[in-house]
Amino acid sequence: MTKRAACPPPPSPGYSATLHFHTLTPDEALYRVYRGADPAQFRITTGNNRFDPLPSPWNATQVLYAGSSREAAISETALRWHDRVGDAAKIILARSQIAGRQLVGIRWDHPVRLLDFTGFGMKPLAELVIDGRADDIFLCDASQYGSTQQWGAWLRSAYPDAAGFRWMSRQHNSSYCYVFFDDACRDFKLTITEAAEPLEAGTHAFRLLQGAKRTSRAAVPFGFNRETASWM
C-alpha cells in the first residue's frame, strides 16, 4: 500500500488571506460522472469526499463536483482509490464502482466566480500553510479528508461568496477539478451539453475508462474482478 503526505491544518479562524479567483464562463465545458436521475443535483455525501461534508458552520452545504475533461471526471470518480495499491500492482475494478454511473457534459448559464488553486493561485494558498505543503490539500488520500473538509470550511468562511473551488486533478494532471456550493450558485443554472452515457461496455465513456490507465496516475494494469465485466 502506498502512503501520501498528510494534509496540513488550516489557519486559525479569522486569519486574513488574499486568494486568487477564476471566473468560469458559460463557454467552458464541464463533465461529471453521477448516479441518479438528475446530473445537476447538489448533495451532501453519506460517505466522505474531499470537500464534503463540511464542518460547522457550513455543515448544511450541498456540493456538486465536476471536471474540465471527460478523462478527469471518469478517473476522479472511478479510479481515485487506486493509490491504495503499490507500483506495478494490478488494479481490480468492481462492478459496484461503476454500476449505474453515467458521464454527462454540462455548462453554467452565467459566469461563476471560483477560488482558484491552480498555477499562480497556489502561491497565496501556500502562504497560509505553516506545517506542510499546500499541494497536499489536493494530493492527500481519503484518510486525510477530515483535514481537507476543515480547509473547505475555513475557505468558505474567508470567502463566503465564492461559488466553489478549482484545483488540478490528482488523477489527470492536465485537467481541473471543481467543487460548487449550492447556496453560492442559487442564481445560476446548469444546462446539459452532452447527453448522459453509461459507463457500460461498448460505450465511448467505457472506452475512456479503459484508457484511463494511460492518462491518469493509474499507469498500471487494471481489470474487472469476477463480479463484474470481462475485460482485463
Predicted TM-score (pTM) of this structure: 0.87
d(CA 123, CA 104): 33
pLDDT in tens, the chain (232 residues): 456 789 999 999 888 889 999 999 999 999 999 999 999 999 999 989 999 999 999 999 999 999 999 999 998 988 765 554 455 556 667 777 788 999 999 999 999 999 999 999 999 999 999 999 999 999 999 999 999 999 999 999 999 999 999 999 988 889 999 999 999 999 999 999 999 999 888 899 988 888 775 444 433 333 444 343 322 2
Q: Does domain 21-224 match CATH 3.90.175? A: yes
The sign of the torsion formed by the CA atoms of 212, 217, 222, 224 equals negative
Strands 176-181 and 190-198 turn out to be unpaired
Q: Where are the domains of the chain?
A: 21-224
Q: Whose grid coordinates read 463566503?
A: 160
